[in-house]
Amino acid sequence: MAYFSRIAFLAAALVSAAALGAGTSTAQPRRDDGAGVVVYDDVNFQGPALTLRNDVNDMREYRLNDRISSLQMAPGERWEVCENTNFGGRCEVISGSERDLRPRGWNDMISSMRRVRERDDRRSRDDRNDRGRASITVYDDVNFQGKPFTFRGDVADMRQFGLNDRISSLQVGSGESWEICENTGFGGQCTVVSGSERDLRRINWNDMISSMHPVSDRDGRRDRDRDNRRDDDRNDRRNR
C-alpha cells in the first residue's frame, strides 16, 4: 500500500469537512472519548488515522477510498462497511476491532460506511436477518486461498463481484446448504453443496460457478428441481 503523509491526510480531511458544511457525512480528527469508529490506512492500527462519527457515503471525500486496512470501534457500536459509494455493492456489518481486514476480504475495499443504529428499524431488521441467514465464503484459489468473499443471500450473477468462473474452493456455514449453478440467473447445470470444498476440481466445479443461492427447507421449488434432476440422472443411467 502506498503511504501518504499525515500532514496531507489531515489537510484533505479539513478541506473536505469545510466543503461539507452541514452535510450528513462528517469526520473529525481522532478524539479520546471512544465514540465512533477509527479507521487506519494500514494493518495493525498503523498509518494515518481518522475518527468517523457519522455516515460517510463516499470515502473519496477523505482520500480513503479503497485504502482502509484496519479499524477500531467504540464498545457496543456496529458499522456497516460497503464496497461502493452510497452504501452500494457488497456490504457487511462489523463490530469491535479489526487489526487486519485482509482475512475478511475487506482490505482496501471500503468506499462508504455508516453506523448501525437500533432505532433504524430497517437496518436493525436486516442485521438480525443476517445473523439467521445462511452464509457461504468463496475463494478464487484451492485450499481456501486467495481473496475471500462472504455472501448471505442469492447471487444471480457473479460477474458483479469479479468472480464469474473463478471460484476454486468454498466454505458453507454449519448445517447449511447452497445451490451453485454454471450460468447466471441460477441456470444451466446446478448442484447443492454443504460443508467445505477445499478443491472444487474434485467435484468438477472448479472455475464453473456463475450464480448461487442458499437452499432451505421452505424453498420448495428449488428442492423439487434438484430432486427431479437427480431422478432424471438415475433414470438415464438405468436406461443406458
| pLDDT tens per residue across span 73-83 | 888 888 999 98
Place of cell 464453473: 208
| pLDDT tens per residue across span 87-131 | 887 888 888 889 999 988 899 999 999 988 754 434 444 444 444
Taking CA atoms, 15 is separated from 10, 12, 29, 37, 114, in Å, by 9, 5, 13, 20, 21
Which candidate, 200, 204, 199, 173, places its Cα nearest to that of 189?
204
Q: What is the pTM of this model?
A: 0.43
Contact in structure between 66 and 100 (CB atoms under 8 Å): no
